[in-house]
Each structure stands twice: as structure tokens, then as C-alpha cells.
Amino acid sequence: MRFPTLAACFALLGLLAAPAIEAAPKAAATDVYKVAIDRSVSLTDAADSMRLRANALNLKLVAEMPLSKQVEVMTGTTERTITIFQFCDAVTARDLIVLNLDFSVYMPCRIALIEDADGRGWLVMMDVNVDAVAKEKRLPQALKVRIEAVRQALVEIMQAGASGAL
């Protein structure tokens, strides 16, 4: 049985390159899309903005993992914020799974809210070249268009969080 590459799986989820407010240098197939949260925006406000924007874009927040809170409970130490948000477009996710059930392990789409050592907030997600993967996996054009729409919605969610837009 042939398994898809990691890049292919993430690309099929719609996570491809786009201009960022602040982005990591480009790598070959897989990279990270990273946006700095404006210093005037609290991490709580950034999270609230992301939740609201996702709802407005009909991307469902299916899970929110306050990882740093769990580490605090386990270690008794104060931790910098690390929260993983998981968003999903259920119909597109289903269609990807119908195409290849292996893609289910990469769902839902994730955005991490992370506080760095300097107290600066960041929003981070996987970033893949969907055009190359779509060609490799022979995705139908209609599905590729929907994946790109999901990806654009994720970018919009991140930008709303970074600016504190409601």
C-alpha cells in the first residue's frame, strides 16, 4: 500500500503558501506560515478574534487544546501560552477522505497560538504548495478550488487574530 507524502496530506487540507505579515523562509514542499500578533492585541483577544472569524467563515472550531495549561497542571510551573485550535470544513474533509482515507489523520486544520520567550504572540500553521500536490494526486479541479478556499479562510482567521479584528 502506498501512503501519501506528508506534504501531500497537508496540501490536500488546503494549507499552502501565501503572503504573510511575517513568514518563515520558504522551503521546498512543506513550510510554516507564521504571523506575529500585534503587540497591542492580547493573546485572549487574538483567540477570541480567531473564533469569531472562523464562525463567520463557516469553518467550525472542533477542538481547542490549551496545551500550556495542561503542562502547568502536570508540572506545577507557570508556562508561556500554547493553545492549539482545530478548525474543520466537514464537507471538504469528507470529500478528501472519500478520495483517500489516509488524509483523515491530518484533519482538522490546526492553528497554534504561541507566546515566545519574549512574550510576543504568534499564530502558526503548516504551509504546503497545494498546486504541486494537486497535480501529483490528480485532484479534481473543483476539490482543489474548495481546498484553496479553506486555506484562504485559515489565513483570514490568523490575520483576524493577529490584528484583534472582531
Is beta strand 60-65 parallel, antiparallel or unpaired with respect to 109-115? unpaired
Instruction: Give all strands of the β-sheet with 109-115 in edge-to-edge order.
Output: 30-36, 121-128, 109-115, 82-88, 60-65
What's the pLDDT at 166? 80
Domains parsed from the chain with CATH numbers? 6-163 (3.30.310.70)
Query: For residue 81, what are the CA distances in angstroms to 54, 64, 96?
Result: 21, 13, 32
Q: Lowest-confidence range among 90-99, 104-113, 129-138?
A: 129-138
Q: Please check whether residue 148 is in contact with residue 27, taking contact to mean a CB–CB distance below 8 angstroms.
A: no
Looking at residue 67, its pLDDT comes to 97
Maximum C-alpha span of the chain:
51
- 37-72 residue pLDDT tens: 999 999 999 999 999 999 999 999 999 999 999 999
Under DSSP, the state recorded for 41 is S
Q: What would the mean pLDDT of 129-156 be, rounded to a whole number? A: 80
Q: Which residues, listed in sequence order, are joined to residue 115 by a DSSP beta bridge?
A: 121
Q: What pLDDT score does 159 carry?
A: 97
User: In the structure grid, which three cell numbers stand for residue 158, read together?
Assistant: 490568523
Distance, CA of 38 to CA of 64 (rounded, Å): 22
CB 11 within 8 A of CB 127: no
